[in-house]
Structure 1
Amino acid sequence: MCVTEPDLANSADTFARLAIELHDAPGVEETVDAVVQFALQALNCKYAGVALYTRGSRAEIAAVTDSLVTNLYESQISTGAGPLITALRERTIVAIRDTTTEDRWPELGTTISGLGIRSVLDVPLATGDTPRTTVGVLGLYSEQPEAFSTDDEAIAHILAQHASVAVASARQEETMAQAVDARKLVGQAMGILMERFDVDGDRAFAILKRYSQDTNTKLRDVAQHLIDTRRLPH
């Protein structure tokens, strides 16, 4: 398929709107939801989904346009095999041109084709060239065989680049917000201890830290418990 000038103009307009929407998204959940919705608009797919790496290096479902995609993701995550997993581990685009003739994952291919999906395109989300910069995978699904052309793959790659940066930024902002929130909670808890036991800030913080270590509880959660109950955890 050859991309014409009107097609390029439409793609440019679509990605311009995507960039604005991703920038305005308040969090990771809203960011990936915007990505899958734009995928439906910009590419020749019936369904779309995003799976993201967690801190434990395990893929988790972040957004889907249909429960069918959820089932496909859960099957691959549980078995540790499939185009999604390959795209994550090898950081490469994985395409299934026709699920009825797919032989790399025979059982999965049969399952996918049985759901009416004939073409699959999994595109890695990454912000750099190392495995640690892999964010997740954007999955595209069509009911037609040979649905994704070279041009579709190129557009999907651009979409994935936008998504990678947006998700990484949203995660960083959420982490910073959580850190600020945690500091506020610890500060409030320290104030309670300082007033109740007539200790200074250093001593109040040491008490919170000791309870955190003794109970194997996050410092933030110890502080929240003290604020809510006015008691330290047992």
Structure 2
Amino acid sequence: MDQASFERTAPGEHETTDLSGTAERFARLAVELHDTSGVQETVQAVVEFALQALNCSHAGVALSVRGGPDIPAVTDPVVAEIYKFQMDSREGPLVEVMQGTTSILVTDTATEQRWPDWAFKVRELGVRTVLDVPLTTSGGTIGVLGLYSTKPDAFDTDDEAIAHILARHASVAVANARHDESMAQAIDARKLVGQAMGILMERYGIDGDRAFEVLKRYSQDTNTKLRDVAQQLIDTRKLPQS
């Protein structure tokens, strides 16, 4: 994907060509996201596309996970620093967008009044314009696509429209990648439990139902995930101490 394909032209004979070119590249992105094998690879493709499709200097994705936002992909360490500042201070547009479904545009960090400490920090890092767009599914907001520019008032209405389209593609892709990873983990867990049950059946001459009950009891007594109990038995040939 080349930057020239997204450059603006004056309204006229080239406008339709530019729009069709952008649509074609979004179609290619959709195929690329479909072919990615995991959340990390998916969001990395999204932020790299953002650099080519929009007038941004940096881009990043923060995802909502247990324990707080995760930062799986950034195009520059500056973005990770901006995200971390907001996570630690609980101040800034990322926090607001992660809790809602509406995007936030900061046209110039030099004049931003809503989050003064955040604005000062971001401006110190050389960023003047920020656009945070939610990644949403039917279940709510699952993350934020952050777009950054070293120039003030860098994003026009076309940039915002493209950012929202990109966010919709990313939302679906991330949700699918997470589902695939969860399914793979579940399959892996079943295999581990099956192996552990086999060890117990052979050692103590019990049937499968009894072996599973033993694993489940140790899981409950030690407040350990069933998968981890099985893994410990496979690795050490011992059950965890209750």
Other-structure match for 2:190:
183
Other-structure match for 1:22:
33
Taking structure 2 as the reference length, the TM-score comes to 0.92
Q: Which runs of 5+ in 2 are unaligned?
A: 1-7
For residue 211 of structure 1, report the CA deviation from its aligned partner: 0.8
Does residue 1:95 correspond to 2:105, yes or no?
A: yes
For residue 40 of structure 1, report the CA deviation from its aligned partner: 0.4
Q: Deviations over 1:100-145 (max 9, x none)?
A: 00001111111111111110000000013xxx42110000000111
Taking structure 1 as the reference length, the TM-score comes to 0.95
Aligned identity (percent) is 63
Does residue 1:221 correspond to 2:228, yes or no?
A: yes
- Aligned mate of 1:41, from 28, 52, 58: 52
- SS in structure 1 of the partner of residue 133 of structure 2: strand
Does residue 1:51 correspond to 2:62, yes or no?
A: yes
Does residue 1:169 correspond to 2:180, yes or no?
A: no
- Aligned mate of 2:20, from 9, 18, 40: 9
CA distance in 1, matches of 2:117, 2:132: 18
Other-structure match for 2:127:
117
- SS in structure 1 of the partner of residue 40 of structure 2: helix
- SS in structure 2 of the partner of residue 212 of structure 1: helix
Other-structure match for 1:106:
116
Deviates more, 1:103-112 or 1:153-162: 103-112
CA distance in 1, matches of 2:171, 2:63: 10
Does residue 1:68 correspond to 2:78, yes or no?
A: yes
- SS in structure 1 of the partner of residue 240 of structure 2: coil
For residue 87 of structure 1, report the CA deviation from its aligned partner: 1.1
Q: Which runs of 5+ in 1 are unaligned?
A: none
Other-structure match for 2:3:
none
CA distance in 2, matches of 1:78, 1:98: 22
CA distance in 2, matches of 1:78, 1:97: 23
* Aligned partners of 1:186 and 1:220 also within 8 Å: yes
Amino acid at match of 1:165: V
Q: Which ranges of 4 or more aligned residues in structure 1 deviate by more than 6 Å? A: none
Deviates more, 1:41-50 or 1:109-118: 109-118
Q: How many residues align?
A: 230
Q: Over aligned residues, Cα RMSD in angstroms?
A: 1.3
CA distance in 2, matches of 1:50, 1:22: 15
Amino acid at match of 2:80: T
* Aligned partners of 1:14 and 1:42 also within 8 Å: no
CA distance in 1, matches of 2:87, 2:148: 17
* Aligned partners of 2:97 and 2:132 also within 8 Å: yes
- SS in structure 2 of the partner of residue 77 of structure 1: helix
* Aligned partners of 1:52 and 1:62 also within 8 Å: yes
Amino acid at match of 1:161: R
Other-structure match for 1:139:
146
- SS in structure 2 of the partner of residue 138 of structure 1: strand
- SS in structure 1 of the partner of residue 213 of structure 2: helix
Other-structure match for 2:4:
none
- Aligned mate of 2:165, from 158, 161, 164: 158
